[in-house]
Chains A and B, each alone.
Chain A
């Protein structure tokens, strides 16, 4: 993320958090609107279920609302809310176990213009004529085969675009651990999606 944009966003968050801590519920609503799309992506890619994602988001923001007064600003609000989201989602996944009902979201039409999409579907590889829905299904299945910890780092790094340092703060583990988990997860995904990448 561009540093200027990032700093401006952090300052905006700081003001909203301060207002929310003083009882301004509209300020908290603004934070909810701002972070729902990002957190939706995070939770959905970890759970692969739309309904569970919506329920979890309710719980996440409810918890954030109850705890907002204790937020001291030592980290950014962004890191704080992401930490809450990851922890609650991991707890949910542990309780859910392996019986997952996948319900996929629609794919935005903007994918057609994505350079990565163009590269994988116009090259000589097996994805040339692949059905988008089938690709989505395969990707979801492969992600679900990863352990929760590995799925988390792949979601945060590859899908959400966070840096190693940010992920390290969110998860409370070292950057070395993040890199190690990513390496293992990518290798696993390569095995699962072997037919698609050869």
Chain B
């Protein structure tokens, strides 16, 4: 006999609390009505969503696989959407005049935004193109020998050497 025998004896009496007679038959009938009403009132979309949730319920592996795929897709979308993630193109008339002053060549046939295409001189030296040169008063009377190069020799510079972003001639040293 446990110390709680009396209490358990009392609680057990609750099993005699019962629904009214006929409850079960009425319940089955109302259950049928409810099922029919749900089928009639439910939209195709909510029915699809409910079945999808029921499908994934109790399937932890499937849930994790879907969640993992969704995360990867989101990260990829964010990565592609970043401004530095790719070279962005714009119309020719949006090109800054500074771009032209800095010696950046803009191809009128395939318009590029400022900074998206940088050319170098024949020796691959980018320093003559740097904006810092302007502020130092460099370009106005400097000859840009070997600068005008044919279109075929254009190179798309890496993003690191976009003017104003990275280094001056002094930093190069």
Enumerate chain A interface residues (CB-CB to B < 8 A): 29, 32-33, 36-37, 40-41, 44-45, 50, 53-54, 57-58, 61-62, 65-67, 70, 104-108, 110-111, 114, 116-117, 119-120, 127, 135-136, 139-140, 143, 154, 158-161, 186-187, 189-190, 193, 196-197
A108 touches B18 (CB 8 A): yes
Report B40-54 residues with CB < 8 Å from chain A CB.
50-51, 54
Give the residues from 15 to 38 in chain B that come closer than 8 angstroms, CB to CB, to chain A. 15-20, 23-24, 27-28, 30-31, 34-35, 38
Smallest beta-carbon distance A57→chain B, Å: 7
Q: How would you classify the secondary structure of chain B's contact residues: helix, strand, loop or mixed? A: helix
CB-CB under 8 A from A66, the residues of chain B are: 50-51, 54
Total A-B residue pairs with C-beta atoms closer than 8 Å? 112
Contacting pair A54 B7 (CB below 8 A): no
Q: Give the distance to chain A from B54, nearest Cβ to Cβ, in Å.
A: 5
Please, could you name 23 A-B residue pairs with CB atoms under 8 Å apart, sorted by A? A32-B27, A33-B28, A36-B27, A54-B27, A57-B27, A62-B35, A62-B38, A70-B58, A105-B18, A105-B19, A106-B17, A107-B17, A107-B18, A108-B17, A108-B18, A110-B16, A114-B13, A135-B10, A136-B14, A143-B11, A159-B14, A186-B7, A196-B10
A40 contact set on B, CB distance < 8 A: 18-19, 23
Across the interface, A108 reaches (CB within 8 A) one of B16, B38, B51, namely B16
Whether the Cβ atoms of A193 and B27 lie closer than 8 Å is: no
Query: Closest approach, in angstroms, between the C-beta of A129 and any C-beta of chain B?
Result: 16
* B17 and A32 contact, CB distance less than 8 A: no
* A116 and B9 contact, Cβ closer than 8 Å, known pairs A40-B23, A159-B14: yes
A120–B110 alpha-carbon span in the complex (Å): 97
Q: When the two chains form their complex, are residues A158 and B18 in contact, meaning their CB atoms are under 8 A apart?
A: no
